[in-house]
Amino acid sequence: MLEILLDYADRSRMNELGVDGFALIHLPSHLESLWMLELLIQHGADPNLRVHNGRRDPALVHVLKSKHFDYASALLGHGADPYMANIKGLDAVLTACRMGATQFLEDIYCAKEIEGKINWRRTCTFVWRENRYSDVNGLHLAASNGKVAVLEFYTNHDLLESLESRSGNGFRPLHYAAMGGYEEVVKFLCLNGCDINAKGEDGSTALHLAAKFGHYEVVKRLKHSGCKWSLDAAGWSTLFYAHQSNEERLIEYLTTDNYNAIVDTKRGNMAFGIASTLRAKAAAKAFEDAIDKDDIALCYKLNSSGCDLDGFLLSCGGCSPLIKAIHNRRLRITE
């Protein structure tokens, strides 16, 4: 019946979008009807047609996000362009990494007609946990969603030089896996030689992030893999973030193990986390850098982390962050 209707349909209207932003080419994916797809394309449907939404997802990106992986492979076989991206730079490869569509990635890798045309190093902008991350590649997306098989796909085919690629904030795949609480991804990365003590631009190690989000098992995995205790740029320790996450098992584990303890052998005092003077210096330096870069997001983060807005900054003779912002004409930060 559908074939008869399509035979009499106006082909010039096959790619019209409905009020919901979808066209006919987007709909069979929800019905898992691959035979419909072939009929639609035979009658003029565009396999690259974008969904009319805020991101303007190409058809391939849309169906992969919907987890209709077989339909995505069928679209690819009918000429859909896997390199077309939405306004955030997210193409079919990056979407497949995020969703764990390993077979689809294999299909692309083995497709002779697009061999050599795919940029496996492509990056995009990624919003995750209410934060925006730039220059995120397939490894970051896979790690942030717990997709070990995708990481194995990349390493087996040598698609990236190493597992140490950095996103815009200096985070590596291990950082994203730690934030997401994916122990198996953390285990895979550690066993494959990643730098477990690598720091992002804010000084965070994977251990900081795992503690911050209360991921007890990930913290244990990282510690047993040799991750060292350190302070981030704001001067906070792993134990501090464990307390902020309010995860009792994690707090007890770190405290009992004395993992975050700093022993002052001269005074015989033991302090957990960091001495207040060192924390103040670290916070001051972080505020100075944030103001110099006009980074209002980092200023908010430092303030919400407990850094003192009345602290003394060395670069301006002991002035406060507010005075420095006024002096540097950082109007957004000043307000």
Q: Residue 280: which pLDDT band, with cuts at 50, 70 and 90?
A: low
Of 228, 147, 230, the residue nearest 189 (C-alpha): 147
**Is a pLDDT exceeding 50 seen at residue 151?**
yes
28-32, 242-246, 248-252 — most confident range: 248-252
- Return the higher-pLDDT residue of 311 and 264: 311
So what's the pLDDT on residue 198? 94
Asked if the model's pLDDT at residue 289 lies above 90, the reply is no
Q: Which of 4-13, 168-177, 230-239 has the least mean pLDDT?
A: 4-13
Q: Does the pLDDT value for residue 44 go beyond 60? A: yes
- Phi-psi category of residue 185: left, alpha or beta, with phi > 0 → left and psi -120 to 50 → alpha: alpha
Joined together, the tokens standing for residue 275 give 């001495």
pLDDT of the residue at 171: 94
Is pLDDT at 201 greater than 50 in this prediction?
A: yes
**Which domains are delineated in the chain?**
1-91 (1.25.40.20), 282-335 (1.25.40)
DSSP 3-state of 319 = strand
Of 155-169, 225-239, 266-280, give the lowest mean pLDDT range: 266-280
Q: Taking 70 as the threshold, does the pLDDT of residue 203 lie above it?
A: yes
- Dihedral angle over CA of 261, 263, 269, 272, nearest 10: -20
pLDDT tens figures, 155-178: 999 888 788 999 988 999 999 999
Overall average pLDDT of the 238-253 stretch: 86
Per residue in 47-88, pLDDT (tens digit) is: 788 887 777 889 899 989 989 898 888 888 888 889 989 988
Greater confidence (273 vs 50) lies with 50
Q: How confident is the model at residue 143 (pLDDT cuts 50, 70, 90)?
A: very high
- Whether pTM > 0.75 for this model: the answer is no
Rounded CA separation 103/143 (Å): 17
Stretch 27-44: mean pLDDT: 64
Mean pLDDT value of segment 263-271: 34
38 pLDDT above the threshold of 80: no
Long-range contacts of 293-302 (CB under 8 A, 24+ apart): 294/328, 294/330, 294/332, 294/333, 296/332, 296/333, 298/202, 299/333, 301/202, 301/234, 302/234
For residue 195, the model assigns a pLDDT of 93
- State what percent of residues in the chain have pLDDT above 90: 30
Q: Please give the pLDDT value at position 66.
A: 87
pLDDT for residue 238: 87
Q: Could you write out the DSSP letters of every residue in 233-272?
A: TTS--HHHHHHHHT-HHHHHHHHHTTTTEEEETTTTEEEE
Give per-residue pLDDT as tens, 123-134: 998 887 778 889
Q: What backbone phi and psi angles, to 5 degrees, belong to 132?
A: -100, 130
Cα 322 to Cα 319: distance, rounded to the nearest angstrom: 8
What average pLDDT does range 241-251 have in this prediction? 86
pLDDT of 272 reads 42
Q: Which two tokens stand for residue 8?
A: 């009499």
CA–CA separation, 7 and 24 (whole Å):
15
More reliable by pLDDT, 6 or 139: 139
